[in-house]
Structure 1
Amino acid sequence: MPSSLPPEPRIARRAVLGAGLALASLRGWAAQDADAEALLRKGGVVAAFRHSLAPGTFDPPGLRLGDCSTQRNLSEEGRAQARSVGAWFQQRQLQPGKVLSSPWCRCVDSATLAFGTPQVWAALGSPRGSPETTGAAHLRELRTALATASSQPGRFEVWFTHMFVLSDLANTNTSSGEGLILRADRSGNVEVLARLAIPA
């Protein structure tokens, strides 16, 4: 049914609606931001990030760990995104007790641009071959490490890993550069307490 409003009021209404949606989005991000900050200050959690933006889906054939030229790598936008992660933590004077990264270059680079050189940990590595599921041994390592971190109030760790690893560990999807604030409960189950998506 055609609108009875003349063109100018319709345009004005769309502008107001657009501004309202943008404001709601900012408020939502601010609330998410505050939740994540409070949890990190309390400690006993891990901020597990999917690596920053690296265009494409899978690595090219012939991937070799330690040789970035054989892998998907961060774009300039992804590098800016990683720096923004570091700036968010610095502005709030939040210092991780440990920064761990998958051996893949896009994770190491994300961690390095945000926090400096990380400790490389194979358990955070991307699944290789088919199916794209994290190996049982690596999942056990991750859950054990998360349980240990969860038992240490006043301290948090930051991990940089991949979409499939976070999906298998926390049973949820993530966007490039997005972080999950994770904790293991008393039974060892993984809880997603908050999300942290920091704009570049």
Structure 2
Amino acid sequence: MPSSQPLRKPQPTRRTLLGAGAAGAALALSYPRTWAAQDAEAEGLLRQGGVVAAFRHSLAPGTFDPPGFRLDDCRTQLNLNDAGRAQARSVGAWFRQRQLQPGKVLSSPWCRCVDSATLAFGGTPHVWAALGSPRGSPETTGSQHLQELRAALVAASARPGVFDVWFTHMFVLSDLAGSNTSSGEGLILRAGANGKADVLARLMIAA
């Protein structure tokens, strides 16, 4: 039996609208509260501390690294394009504008994550294998790495007034937090009572 409920059109995202030029920017003016609330929620949690802002690396076109890629040679990997580099810089600008300084910046060994972290926060991030992209099939994060990530999240959650930033991959965030992410999107995470990651807020910063 057909539903009597009217179909709702999907709400445009900030990236969709801002990427649509002048027309998109004009339409975006009708949605400021949603995004302002999202930013304010994430900012408030970061100021309280005891959380991790876990970002999927910025835009790097493609799906998988080429066969035979090497971690010690960025030329063999998928890398950020110009839009991805601009997006990473925008992430850093968002934090600086709010005078939010992470306690630690950690990155997957993959170049697209290291570059995202470096462009956002400067300096050299601490490279941590547990944040690395899964290899082989199926694309799931190893149990040992998940245990390390959960233990680090528990430790970070016990430090009020301090937050850490992680740069990692879609599959890692999915396995850790059970949530899909877009390129450059951040999840504000805290360890839950069951030892798993609770997603407290999301942060999508348009370049």
TM-score, normalised to structure 1, is: 0.89
- Structure 2 gap segments, 5+ residues each: 1-23
Aligned residues of 2:105 and 2:166 also touching (Cα < 8 A): yes
State how far apart, in whole Å, the 2-side matches of 1:25 and 1:71 are: 37
TM-score, normalised to structure 2, is: 0.86
Over aligned residue pairs, what C-alpha RMSD do you find?
1.3
More helix by share: 1
Quick check: 1:166 aligned with 2:173?
Answer: yes
Quick check: 1:131 aligned with 2:138?
Answer: yes
State how far apart, in whole Å, the 2-side matches of 1:108 and 1:68 are: 10
Quick check: 1:27 aligned with 2:33?
Answer: yes
Q: Which amino acid in structure 2 is aligned with residue 93 of structure 1?
A: Q
Residue 21 of structure 1 deviates from its aligned partner by 5.2
Q: Which amino acid in structure 2 is aligned with residue 142 of structure 1?
A: L
Which of 66, 69, 94 is 1:60 aligned to?
Answer: 66
After superposition, give the CA deviation of every residue in 1:22-60 in whole Å (9 maximum; x if it has no partner): 234322111100000000000000000000000010001
After superposition, give the CA deviation of every residue in 1:170-200 in whole Å (9 maximum; x if it has no partner): 0010000000000002331210000000010
Q: Which amino acid in structure 1 is aligned with residue 72 of structure 2?
A: G
Match of 2:158 in 1: 151
Match of 1:110 in 2: 116
State how far apart, in whole Å, the 2-side matches of 1:199 and 1:19 are: 12
After superposition, give the CA deviation of every residue in 1:53-107 in whole Å (9 maximum; x if it has no partner): 0001000111100210000000000000000000000010000000000000000
Aligned in 2, Cα 1:63/1:28: closer, same or farther, shift over 3 Å? same
Task: Kindly tell me the number of residue pairs found equivalent between the two proteins.
Answer: 183
Q: Which amino acid in structure 1 is aligned with residue 153 of structure 2?
A: L
State how far apart, in whole Å, the 1-side matches of 2:48 and 2:67 are: 43
Deviating beyond 3 angstroms after TM superposition, the runs of 4 or more aligned structure 1 residues are: 18-21
After superposition, give the CA deviation of every residue in 1:86-135 in whole Å (9 maximum; x if it has no partner): 00000100000000000000000000000121000000000001000000
Q: Which amino acid in structure 2 is aligned with residue 100 of structure 1?
A: L
Quick check: 1:47 aligned with 2:47?
Answer: no
Percent same amino acid among aligned pairs? 80
Aligned residues of 2:177 and 2:196 also touching (Cα < 8 A): no
Match of 2:7 in 1: none
Residue 19 of structure 1 deviates from its aligned partner by 8.1
Match of 2:20 in 1: none
